[in-house]
Amino acid sequence: MQEIHAFLITFVTYLKIMKNKKTLVLGATTKPERYAFRAINMLTQKGHTVLAIGQNTGEVAGVKIYTKAIPVKNIDTVTLYLNPARQRDYYNYIIEAQPKRVIFNPGSENPELYQLLELNNIKFEIACTLVLLATNQY
């Protein structure tokens, strides 16, 4: 019986780790009416580790917002809340981070960056992070 209990604890821990998709939010903000703000909140509520970079410093749901690129490792997802022109400053940063995927939220669609991601074997989705989270498709 103790073996089964130990296995279940290990399995539940494994599931929590597998569920956690370390996410970098580019275009983060402390403005509650913005979708990036809502995404940070929902990501943390769903148990994901969140890093955030925005135009202004601040904090959302316990996540510090940085104004400059920060060192990142093991990023699962980069979710973009920047228009294409503002994304250019982050092209190399995103590619060097080697995320498993990049999500282009509405208004952030960028064919130029799609090509760069494809050249570097990084998957991307044109989707809404909030919808993916709400429908358990994240």
Instruction: Enumerate the domain spans of the chain.
Output: 21-134
CA pair distance 99, 61, nearest whole angstrom: 23
Residues linked to residue 60 through DSSP beta bridges, in sequence order: 63
Q: Tokens for 28, please give them.
A: 């983060």
90-125: pLDDT as tens digits: 999 999 999 999 999 999 999 999 999 999 999 999
Per-residue pLDDT, averaged over 26-41, amounts to 98
CA pair distance 45, 60, nearest whole angstrom: 12
Structural class in CATH, domain 21-134? alpha beta
What predicted TM-score, i.e. pTM, was given to this entire model?
Answer: 0.87
Q: Which helix (H) or strand (E) holds 78?
A: strand 77-80
CB 23 within 8 A of CB 48: yes
